[in-house]
Structure 1
Amino acid sequence: MSDAFRGVFHAAAACGHVQLLEWIHMKYPHADWAGVIDSAVKNRQFDAAVWIRAYHPESATHDTIAAAASSGVVALLKWLSEQYPSRAFCTSSRKAMKRGAASGSLEVVEFLVERTMETASVKWAPPKALVNAAKNGHLDVLQYLARRLPKKYLRGAVDAAVEHCQLAVLEWLDKRNRVRVSPSTLSRVAQNGHKEILKWLYERSPRYYKNCFGFGNLNLLRDATAHGRGELVQWMLDVGKDIKVCIEPAIDGTLIPVQSAVGDKVLLPEYGGSLIKLGSDEFHLFRDEDILGKLQ
């Protein structure tokens, strides 16, 4: 069977076209139906899934339960677990939990927890499940899983909430255990222009995020500038205007900002301007042209 023809099977199942599935069944009795039911269940096509189960039970794979979990429809998941009891929660429970958490359906997650806890033969909730809930803003799912898991499982959830701008999730995580965000995650936040997240982190702990690796680190300004985040660049410049720096001439005559606190040397050619001394230990970035206007 060609890939194009197989794609017709999956497209028909994904769209719930039962009549087309019946025609294919009659026209090509020896066709390979493996995995077709997965396309139906993950797209919430209950009628198509019922028909495929009746005429091609061999269509189910080890990913079928996980596909149903990703749909967020608990009735569909329960039905499949009854239809395929031998494979339902043995080989795919961890993948199903990850996808169920990503779907945001608390009913699906609760059902998976109940069933997988019965087997007691697998680690039922991988850290990725909490990460998926956090990055998609599914706070109720995250809270439910967090009550049943060690705190260490929440480490990845913090970075996921920050990177995907889920402020409500981040606030809840911070109440449980004071949040610290990695430099690499902050860099991605700057690239994505999530000003509200950086502002919240700064207001919550200005000394830590300015002096440790946050707004005192000119690499964040470079990340934001390179990705056209003009509003964020302006805000970071305003916040960091009292950062102590000194300047040194480079070989090519440009100025290199040097952070006196950590000694990092960072070239800023994209700013098109110069750092000018305003006081004994204060400098300001004066641009030759309005680069912020270009960014916005």
Structure 2
Amino acid sequence: MACAASEGHLPVLQWLHANRSEECRTEDMLLAAKNGHHDVVRWLHEHTGVVTDRAVAEAARNGHFDVVQWLCTHTTVESTDGAMSNAAYSEHIDIVLWLHENRSERYSTMVMDAASLRGNLTMLKWLRANRPNEGYSTLGISLLSKL
């Protein structure tokens, strides 16, 4: 099932689910989300209830906005801290903006640190202006001093 989910082969996944005894795992959801297979992500959740915060984080890392948005609005994802950090690190401003506008949780210093690690001054300025309460860790400050 993992290979079918990872490669986005929904008909194969459906057949395996109907004709084999093994269950879908959270790893299957993670692989589908990571690779941007929105139809597989949706099917997995609707038929198995499988979802993890890591799936959202991996989709964000790889810029799969539609997957991030769907998981956050149609599942019980608890935390998007990893998604925000991954999106900031990978410079996916569309995902950062959407998470900022549509999620209410505070984020850790990992978000600022991730943007600092990439040296993305535009992202850092936006984060500082729009999310001033998260702050930086000593790692983030050290990285910023090298810009």
TM-score by length of 1: 0.42
Aligned counterpart, 2:121: 230
**Counterpart residue type for residue 213 of structure 1:** Y
Number of residue pairs aligned between Structure 1 and Structure 2: 145
**Counterpart residue type for residue 41 of structure 2:** L
Secondary structure at the counterpart of residue 221 of structure 1: helix
Decide whether aligned partners of structure 1 residues 199 and 115 sit closer, same or farther in structure 2, where only a CA change above 3 A counts. same
- Whichever of the two has the greater Rg, that structure is 1
Q: How do 1:2-17 and structure 2 match up within 5 A?
A: none
Aligned counterpart, 1:163: 61
* Aligned with residue 271 of structure 1, among 141, 144, 147: 144
1:105-144 Cα shifts (integer Å, max 9, x gaps): 222212222221xxxxx43312111111111111111222
Q: Does residue 105 in structure 1 map to residue 9 in structure 2?
A: yes
CA RMSD of aligned residues (A): 2.9
**Counterpart residue type for residue 2 of structure 2:** K
Q: Counterparts of 2:39 and 2:137 in 1: how far apart (Å)?
A: 44
Deviation at 1:103, TM superposition (A): 1.0
Secondary structure at the counterpart of residue 148 of structure 1: helix
Question: What stretches of structure 2 of length at least 5 have no aligned partner?
Answer: none
Decide whether aligned partners of structure 1 residues 176 and 106 sit closer, same or farther in structure 2, where only a CA change above 3 A counts. same
As a proportion of its length, which structure holds more helix? 2
Secondary structure at the counterpart of residue 154 of structure 1: coil
Q: Does residue 154 in structure 1 map to residue 54 in structure 2?
A: no
Q: Counterparts of 1:114 and 1:244 in 2: how far apart (Å)?
A: 48
Deviation at 1:193, TM superposition (A): 2.1
Aligned counterpart, 2:28: 129
Q: Counterparts of 1:224 and 1:167 in 2: how far apart (Å)?
A: 18
Q: Is the 2:5–2:28 contact (alpha carbons within 8 Å) kept by the matching residues of 1?
A: yes
Aligned counterpart, 2:44: 145
Q: Is the 1:130–1:157 contact (alpha carbons within 8 Å) kept by the matching residues of 2?
A: yes
Q: Counterparts of 2:19 and 2:37 in 1: how far apart (Å)?
A: 21
Aligned counterpart, 1:239: 130
Question: What stretches of structure 1 of length at least 5 have no aligned partner?
Answer: 1-96, 117-121, 246-258, 274-290, 292-296
Q: Counterparts of 1:181 and 1:115 in 2: how far apart (Å)?
A: 34
Q: Counterparts of 2:42 and 2:3 in 1: how far apart (Å)?
A: 16
Q: Is the 2:57–2:86 contact (alpha carbons within 8 Å) kept by the matching residues of 1?
A: no
Q: Is the 1:159–1:181 contact (alpha carbons within 8 Å) kept by the matching residues of 2?
A: no
Q: Counterparts of 1:136 and 1:220 in 2: how far apart (Å)?
A: 22
Q: Does residue 181 in structure 1 map to residue 72 in structure 2?
A: no
Decide whether aligned partners of structure 1 residues 102 and 192 sit closer, same or farther in structure 2, where only a CA change above 3 A counts. same
1:215-264 Cα shifts (integer Å, max 9, x gaps): xx3x5323312222233122212224xx369xxxxxxxxxxxxx6xxxx8
1:139-174 Cα shifts (integer Å, max 9, x gaps): 111222222113xx2114223323322111122122
Q: Is the 1:163–1:188 contact (alpha carbons within 8 Å) kept by the matching residues of 2?
A: yes
Q: Counterparts of 2:113 and 2:71 in 1: how far apart (Å)?
A: 29
Q: Counterparts of 1:225 and 1:115 in 2: how far apart (Å)?
A: 48
Deviation at 1:269, TM superposition (A): 3.9
1:248-284 Cα shifts (integer Å, max 9, x gaps): xxxxxxxxxxx6xxxx8647244349xxxxxxxxxxx
**Counterpart residue type for residue 225 of structure 1:** S
